[in-house]
Amino acid sequence: MIKKIYGQHTFYFSVLIIVLLIITLVTGSSVEFLNELIISFVCLFLILSVGISHGAMDNYKANKILKIYKINNKIIFYLIYTLISLLVIILWFFFASLTLLVFLLLASYHFGREDTSFLNIGNSNFDQLFYLIKGSLIIFAPLFFHIDETLKIFEVLLINNEVLFFIKDQHWIVNISLSLGVLGYVYFIFKKRFEDFEILLLDIFSILILNFIFFPLIAFTIYFCFLHSIRHIISISFELDKNSFSNGVKIFVRKALPLTIVTALLYLLAVVYLSNSYGLNNVIIQVIFIGLASLTFPHILLEYLIEKNEKRT
């Protein structure tokens, strides 16, 4: 049943991308004719609602890890989680290029694995490597199709000019990396002996078409909210109620809503505070990506610790 839901979601997402492609080809334009600030606000809204919510169950997952380490005070979890997030933000402002590199590596692995985990493909060291390679398609597709706009985002994220010039001058690295990203999908197709290959193929084409049509911020937002996040929400909802998926979704919404609201408010406060010193559009980009990085590090660490200890038991 659950695989059928994943399949339906993949199909509907692919249809959405095809419709967007047809509209773009017919009209000769896309939503990029809108004001840049409007686009940024829409992307911020989607990420703060749909995107952030898929990680809003970390406070409930914390119960598992606290039980494993025999810690009774949940405040300790919130404190450590918050400190890691703050540390990432601080490191970003002092070592932006290095922190971005580590974030992109972690994000690639996270996207590659989480978007594939429902297929039960495998957990060997070789599989882990190909999760990273597969997920890197999300990073290199915008660099391949819209390198100037992507580097502009990197510049807003405080990446130094030497790194930006290197990426632009050595574009062959992007070309090879994009090919490897596609190869990551092919690896899992063959590993599954073509079982469920339609889902993996639709993912490849959807991601490539999405980045071909739209500038990086829009393409990432659509992928992050409507492919990656929705798949994660499907997984969590099924865990919450294996007998009724719809009831699981209701439970998820109820449990995820408080932390989603708190996180969204913190994001908005950061936008208001930083807008006094920087342009509003640049601030939104910084808050989106640096904010996501600050949440990704503790989120992945929590997932790793839970999985590591579950294997032991």
Q: pLDDT tens, 171-187?
A: 999 999 999 999 999 99
State the Cα–Cα distance between residues 219 and 25, nearest whole angstrom.
Answer: 17
Q: Domain residues for 269? A: 2-28+37-312
Confidence of residue 313 (pLDDT cuts 50, 70, 90): low
Is the model's pLDDT at 192 over the cut of 70?
Answer: yes
* C-alpha triplet 212, 189, 231: angle, nearest 5°: 65
Which pLDDT tens digit goes with each residue over 201-246? Answer: 999 999 999 999 999 999 999 999 999 999 999 988 988 888 888 9
Q: What is the rounded CA–CA span in Å between residue 255 and residue 309?
A: 24
Question: What is the reported pTM?
Answer: 0.92
Total tally of structural domains belonging to the chain: 1
Per-residue pLDDT tens for 15-52?
A: 999 998 898 888 766 555 557 788 899 999 999 999 98
C-alpha 157/C-alpha 99 separation (Å) is: 11
Q: What is the 3-state secondary structure (H, E, C) of 236-285?
A: HHHHHCCCCHHHHHHHHHHHHHHHHHHHHHHHHHHHHHHCCCCCHHHHHH
243-300 pLDDT tens trace:
888 999 999 999 899 889 989 999 999 999 888 877 889 999 999 999 999 999 998 8
Neighbouring C-beta atoms of residue 26, cutoff 10 Å? 8
90/120 Cα distance (integer angstroms): 37
Cβ neighbours, 10 Å, residue 163: 17
pLDDT score for 310 = 66
Percent of the chain with pLDDT over 90: 60
Could you please report the per-residue DSSP string of 68-118?
A: HTT---HHHHHHHHHHHHHHHHHHHHHSHHHHHHHHHHHHHHHHHHHTTGG
**Range 98-126 average pLDDT:** 88
Q: How far apart are CA 181 and CA 263, in angstroms?
A: 32
Q: What is the pLDDT averaged over residues 114-124?
A: 80
d(Cα 18, Cα 205) in Å, to the nearest integer? 10
Give the model's pLDDT for residue 81. Answer: 92
Nearest to 49 by CA among 240, 275, 233: 233
Q: Are 199 and 14 in contact (CB under 8 A)?
A: no
Q: Give CA separation, 161 vs 96, 139, 168, 177, 268, in Å.
A: 12, 19, 11, 21, 29
